[in-house]
Amino acid sequence: MAAMKFTYDHRADAAFIQLVDHIERGEAVRSDACDVGLPLSAILLSFDAADRLLGIEILGASRLLRPEILEAGGSSK
């Protein structure tokens, strides 16, 4: 079973939840945006060729996630 991996980039204010062990270059062939209704924030879902969800990118993460969650993501400053 794959372990989820959570990372946070403080400078980009972007978080990524990786749902599989490894994502090969080019494996994510489709990305769908989810409108969260907040300026400068979005959630992007990355899918493989078989329409399986590989990961979730959160843009404007500091507006959408609690600070303790961002800290757990190993934020880079």
Query: Beta strands of 2-76 (E only): which ranges?
Result: 5-9, 14-18, 30-34, 42-47, 53-59
Domain span at residue 12 reads 5-21+28-72
Q: What is the mean pLDDT of residues 37-41?
A: 92
Q: Percent of the chain, pLDDT > 90?
A: 83
Mean pLDDT of the chain: 92
- In this prediction the pTM is 0.86
Helix/strand/coil percentages in the chain, nearest 5 = 15, 40, 50
Domains in the chain: how many in total? 1
Q: Does the pLDDT value for residue 77 go beyond 50?
A: no
Structure tokens at 60: 């404007």
In a domain, 67, yes or no: yes
Does any domain span residue 58? yes
Instruction: Judge whether 77 lies within some domain.
Output: no
The answer to whether residue 75 scores a pLDDT higher than 60 is: no
pLDDT digits (tens, 9 = 90+) for 22-34: 999 999 999 999 9
